[in-house]
Amino acid sequence: MRAATGWRHRVRRLPVAPYLFIAPNLLLFSTFTFLPLLFAVYISFNEWGLLGQPHFIAAGNYARIVEDRLFWRALGNTVVYSLGTVPTSLALGLALALALDRPLPGRSLIRSTFFLPVVISGVATAVIAAWLFNDNYGVINAVLQRIGLPKVNWLSSPSWALPSLVITTLWVRLGFCMVVYLAALQSIPSDYYHAAAIDGASRWAQFRYIVWPLLSPATFLLLILNVIYSFQVFDLIYVMTGGGPGFATTMLVQYIYQSAFITSEMGYASAIGVVLYLLILGFTVLQWRISRQAQNAL
Amino acid sequence: MQQNQRKTTPHLSRRTLIKAGIGAYAALSFGRPARAQSPTRLNFAFWGQQPEQEGFNRLIEKYQAKNPNVAIKAEIVPPGPQYYQLLDTRLAGGQGPDLFRVQYQRIGKYAQNRAAVDLSRYLDKDFGAGFGSTFWAAASFEGKVFALPHHTDTFGLYYNIDHFEKAGLEAPKSLDKSWSWDEFIKAARRLKEKQTAPYPFAMHWVLSNAYRWLPFLYQHGGAMLDADFKSPMINSKTGIETIAWTQSWFKEGLVPANTSIKGTEATQNLFANGTISMLLNGNWQIPFLNEQMTRFRWGVTYMPRDVAMASDLGGNCVAVSKDSKNPEVAADFLKFIASEENMREFIIAGQFLPVRKSLMQETIAFKVRPELMPVFVQQATTIPEHMARTEVLPKWSEINVKLNDELDLAFTSGQSPEATAKNLETAVKQILAA
């Protein structure tokens, strides 16, 4: 009797309101993200062409990944693309934020101009970039020819296709990195700079010992987000190169799409998707630990 | 007497009555066209340029006027991979459209998986006799028909008349005078020498349509698969030579580098704006060029040839999906749009070629540049039946992906023709064995 009263008491004390508030989001998240994620894991152990019935093959798809040269090529391309885009977009974003964090005529307009590609849809950006880089009538080649330089097969040469994508990505991401760094810079109290100046610290010393350490949470956030964006790149590739020439720009998500909807190997595509998920998760956890150690050391 | 009568009068049991009733209903049902007695809604998924959309919409309106109980909703979807992605996902979820347009190269997959309905039960036995055998075979699988052929198209060689005059070239005037491979390359080199345009020509196999490379293989006397469609034939002298020949276009700079298989360049734009002097492309480009190519005069001649003539199998059929709740009415609509009169109306609207034998013999009064269409009509007679049957195999989609990959590597990344043929042979063997 006493136990029953205690149970009722506990139920009455349960904080219902927070659950009610998160319920709509939780419901949508479960329906459109979490359950499909679980279904993808289930499908990764099956052979399924989408039109027929799934056929259980245990870890067959994962065994195939190990031997699939194209998977490793796509992973390699994704890593190279990430190395080309993540550090550079962070460095350029920071440089831009530092430059635009001081009073300048037309500062808001310049900031908005750099941020504009972030708000345009990825496909629209890719279409514009494809026009700019077009071998035959692109603006970039026209400028090169005007100044007496030869044309470059930007998107159709295996050596230039990936750099062209990296340049386009930087154009898109620069504004995002700039805005995050600007917000972080503006949250640093000006007293720190004044105190450092009184102590005779140079501009570089101020940046090295005050700004950079205080920007580390923003840097960590941008690093994680940019790595995720780079590993999940799809729209840019799909519109600009279709994964070619050859396999020069075939990335993991492009390969997943091709396996799922072009060759109708939904099980194999899901298995690669699971591997990609684990890779991103592993990298995020690793970065998290490194970041925490660095903060503890401060 | 009465007793005798009782003996001779057949006894009608309840079961006999039911059987007779079913028999009578079946006889009546099969003997008349399927007309919806109660309001019926059908969804029809297709893609198409403006003239095709208008063509389909007109057929829908006509059918609805004859069948007031039927409402057909046109679902226009972007073409290419997105169309099939959407269709497959809907079919997997049991939400497929009642009717869907599909390329001949892809119907095999839907037939094999029974995502399309077997239409045999809705058609007279000799219904297929009215269609060109290649197209009827393309829509059939294991002796049953899963779609009705609706139209076809094929490739020809578009040429810039102004550029040809500048280079002193004359295009072939008849099919039997079509250029050999050597003559075609000589013409391309002459155009390059005279600098009529940045590049002499381009082939429209971009956006991963590698199957359009096959006509060159057949022109050279080769084939992708053996006579039984059981083993690859690509790793042969003819296969390697054809890869080498098409690869030489890129090596020699006769075609723009971004018009390889995985390229995304719209080749018709390059022709219209004078970037190339010749374009290997399909008859459906005529309305576009007629409207856009205003700075140059242009014409069409025949595909180049080698030991044989061959051209691309293009065009589409229409199928009834497994998810249709009214397959009988949907099949009736199919028969309606594939009738002689309606097929003629559609191909005139969309600038296509007919697949009915009776229309193949007829001089169709096309609306746009009608003087050019006979070139395509004649060229369509060179589509190799073996190639057509290869391209409609259920596993063709998978083979086509490998063909995309390997040919693009040969054209853009310097992969040797020998390695390309060998890789293709290995891949095709694996696909056929799976």
| pLDDT value of residue B34 | 52
Percent of chain B with pLDDT over 70: 91
CB contact under 8 A, A136 and B258: yes
**Which amino acid does the sequence have at A248?**
A
| pLDDT value of residue B231 | 96
CB of B262 less than 8 A from some CB of A? yes
- Please check the confidence at residue B157 and state whether its pLDDT lies above 90: yes
CB of A136 less than 8 A from some CB of B? yes
| pLDDT value of residue B424 | 98
The Cβ of residue A232 has, within 10 Å, a number of other Cβ atoms equal to 15
- Please check the confidence at residue B4 and state whether its pLDDT lies above 60: no
Q: How many CB pairs under 8 A join A and B?
A: 93
CB contact under 8 A, B262 and A239: no
- Please check the confidence at residue B9 and state whether its pLDDT lies above 70: no
3-state SS class at B91 = helix
3-state SS class at A167 = helix
- Please check the confidence at residue B19 and state whether its pLDDT lies above 70: no
Give the lowest-confidence range in A247-251, B148-152, B361-365.
Answer: B361-365
B385 pLDDT band (50/70/90 cuts)?
confident
Q: What is the ipTM of this complex?
A: 0.80
- Please check the confidence at residue B20 and state whether its pLDDT lies above 70: no
The shortest CB-CB distance from A156 to any of B398, B409, B412 is to: B412
Residues facing residue A47 across a β-bridge: A55
Please name which of A288, A94, A270, A260 lies closest in space to residue A184, comparing C-alpha atoms: A94
CB of A284 less than 8 A from some CB of B? no
| pLDDT value of residue B8 | 40
Average pLDDT over residues A279-295: 86
Tokens at B74, concatenated: 């046109």
Percent of chain A with pLDDT over 70: 96
> What angle, 0 to 180 degrees and rounded to 10, lies between the N-to-C axes of helices A216-231 and A161-186?
150
CB contact under 8 A, A245 and B415: no
Dump pLDDT digits (tens) for B308-336: 999 999 999 999 999 999 999 999 999 99
Q: Which residue has the higher pLDDT, A4 or B180?
A: B180
| pLDDT value of residue B392 | 84
Dump pLDDT digits (tens) for B270-291: 999 999 999 999 998 998 999 9
DSSP string, A41-67: HHHTTEE--SSS--EE-TTHHHHHHHH
- Please check the confidence at residue B32 and state whether its pLDDT lies above 60: no
Dump pLDDT digits (tens) for A68-114: 999 999 999 999 999 999 999 999 999 999 999 988 888 889 999 99
- Please check the confidence at residue B6 and state whether its pLDDT lies above 90: no
Among residues 3-42 of chain A, which lie with CB inside 8 Å of chain B? none
| pLDDT value of residue B141 | 87
A16 pLDDT band (50/70/90 cuts)?
confident
pLDDT, mean over chain B: 90
Spell B31-60 as b/e; 16+ CB within 10 A means b.
Answer: eeebebeeebebbbbbbbeebbbebbbebb
CB contact under 8 A, B264 and A239: yes
| pLDDT value of residue A267 | 96
| pLDDT value of residue B23 | 47
Which residues on chain B are in Cβ contact (under 8 Å) with A52?
113
B236 vs B226: CA distance, rounded Å: 11
Among residues 193-212 of chain B, which lie with CB inside 8 Å of chain A? 198, 207-208
Which residues on chain B are in Cβ contact (under 8 Å) with A49?
113
Percent of chain A with pLDDT over 90: 76
CB contact under 8 A, B413 and A264: no
Which residues on chain B are in Cβ contact (under 8 Å) with A64?
none
